[in-house]
Structures are given as C-alpha cells and as structure tokens.
C-alpha cells in the first residue's frame, strides 16, 4: 500500500527591491564625455607643471615669456651671474686684433673694349697708334680719389700714398709742361714716362701749372695731366707737391719698377 505525499507548496519568486527589471535601461549622463576629456587634460598638465615648477616655487622667467614666440636659444634673461663670470674667465686672455693697413678695395669694373685692345697691342709690341692718341680726355679712374688731388692704383694700401707725401722716395726727375698745348703735353708726357721706366726712375715730378691764365678761367692742362696719369699702367700713385716743389701746380708721381730691378 502506497501513501502519496502531497507536493510542497510552490515558493513565489519575488524580485528584490535593488534588482532592476528586464526592461530597465541605464540613464545616460550627458556630462560624462566632457568630464573624461577634462580629466585627460588635467592628467597631461600635472607632470608638466611639476617639471616646470619644482617644490611649488613659481617660475618667473616662464611668466615673462608668455605671449612671446618660443626661442630655444639662451637669452639674456636666463643668464645667471655665475654664467657671466664663467664667460669672463674664459675670454680673459683674448686680445682685440690690431688695425692693419689692408685696404678693402671695390671690385674693378670692366674696361672699355678699346682700352683692352690697346693693352693687348702694347703687350705684343703691335701698338702703332700715335702718342697723342694714347691718352683720353674722357677717361675717369674706376676707383674714387682717396683725397683731392691724389690718386692710388687698385691693389695698393693707403700707406703708399702717405709715404709718397712724406717724400720717402726722393724726386729724381722732373718734367715742365708750362706753355704746351694738350697734344704737345700728352706726347711729351708719354715720352718722359717711358724714359723714366727705361732708366728705372721711381719717383718723378710733373709740373702742369695752376691754370690761372687759362681762357675759360678753369685749369685745363692741370686736370688733363692728372687724368692722363691715371691711364698709365706704370703709375702707382700721385699727390700734389708741397709748396717748395710747386704746390697745387705740380704732382709727384710714384712709378712701378719691377722688384727684381728696383734700387730702393
């Protein structure tokens, strides 16, 4: 004989009060993404602030550079007294360079084709032009005059002109062109210069007068002779003579004698 026991009463499932139902959805906080970005920026800024301002001390040099373009080089604001003292010790044995007599010359302009042709013919011995046509009254030297009434050829220092005025080289030959026409003066000057070079005469004097008696009232022969001298390759420099040797009416000329034949 079997006895059937009744089944236990079913237990009612009850949802706890803190458990969400199946249809519940999480409420989205609209400020969550912005907060994350803000926290990210703060996290990046904290190490930089700690490295720039150690021990909580403000960096005044950094504040002074706000709003200015960044410069990776060392500025005067970053130099400390110790840096300046170290630099002074490093350069204490440095001495400034002494001034030299080296002349800084301008570049030589291109010569006129006719001038180059005459120089090539003279170098090869094929120059058949009359002496009166060797000088031009329209020629001007490529470099400006160092002083009024003086001339110095390119490639020579200013000490050459100073020594010429101090009569370092004695005048050993002289030519007087008083009363000569321009054509006669150019021919005589050419012959005189060639003769001085042949006899290795280094310093000469050319007397051209002051030009007070000219018809136009301005010196003609004086300016022409000085212009001609600048066209002669062997002329290194010239300057007005002192009053004893003619003053403004004459010039003393220094000629270029080869060093192997110079008798200085």
Backbone Cα Rg of the chain: 48
- Whole-angstrom Cα distance, residue 186 to residue 180? 9
pLDDT at 62: 47
**pLDDT at residue 208 above 80?**
yes
Q: CA–CA separation, 161 vs 152, rounded Å? A: 7
Q: Which residue, among 166, 249, 161, has the nearest Cα to 205 in the 3D structure?
A: 249
Tens of pLDDT, residue by residue over 160-174, are 999 999 989 999 999
Domains of the chain by range and CATH?
156-258 (3.30.1370.110)
- Candidates 221, 218, 197; CA nearest to 209 is 221
Structure tokens at 22: 């199946």
68-95 confidence digits (pLDDT tens): 545 555 555 688 888 999 999 898 888 8
Three-state DSSP state, 45 = helix
Q: What is the pLDDT of residue 122?
A: 62
Nearest to 257 by CA among 235, 238, 240, 231: 235
Higher pLDDT pick, 114 / 123? 123
Largest alpha-carbon pair distance within the chain? 179
For strands 203-207 and 173-176, give the pairing. parallel
Say yes or no to pLDDT of 213 above 60: yes
Residue 212: which residues within 8 A CB-CB, separation 6 or more?
Answer: 219
User: Whole-structure pTM over 0.95, yes or no?
Assistant: no
Q: Which residue has the higher pLDDT, 64 or 192?
A: 192
């Amino acid at each position: 004989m079997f006895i059937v026991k009744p089944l236990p009463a079913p237990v009612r499932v009850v949802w706890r009060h803190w458990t969400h139902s199946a249809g519940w959805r999480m409420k989205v906080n609209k400020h969550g993404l912005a907060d994350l970005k803000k926290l990210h920026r703060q996290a990046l800024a904290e190490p930089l602030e700690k490295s720039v301002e150690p021990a909580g001390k403000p960096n005044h040099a950094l504040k002074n550079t706000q709003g200015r373009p960044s410069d990776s080089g060392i500025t005067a604001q970053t130099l400390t007294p110790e840096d300046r003292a170290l630099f002074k010790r490093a350069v204490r044995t440095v001495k400034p360079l002494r001034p030299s007599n080296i002349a800084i010359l301008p570049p030589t302009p291109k010569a006129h084709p006719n001038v180059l042709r005459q120089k090539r013919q003279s170098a090869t011995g094929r120059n058949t032009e009359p002496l009166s046509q060797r000088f031009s009254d329209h020629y001007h030297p490529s470099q400006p005059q160092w002083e009024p009434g003086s001339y110095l050829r390119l490639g020579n220092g200013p000490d050459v002109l100073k020594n010429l005025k101090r009569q370092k080289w004695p005048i050993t030959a002289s030519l007087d062109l008083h009363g000569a026409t321009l054509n006669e003066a150019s021919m005589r000057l050419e012959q005189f210069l060639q003769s001085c070079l042949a006899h290795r005469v280094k310093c000469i004097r050319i007397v051209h007068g002051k030009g007070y008696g000219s018809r136009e009232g301005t010196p003609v022969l004086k300016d022409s002779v000085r212009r001609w001298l600048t066209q002669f390759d062997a002329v290194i420099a010239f300057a007005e003579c002192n009053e004893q040797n003619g003053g403004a009416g004459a010039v003393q000329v220094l000629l270029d004698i080869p060093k192997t034949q110079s008798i200085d």
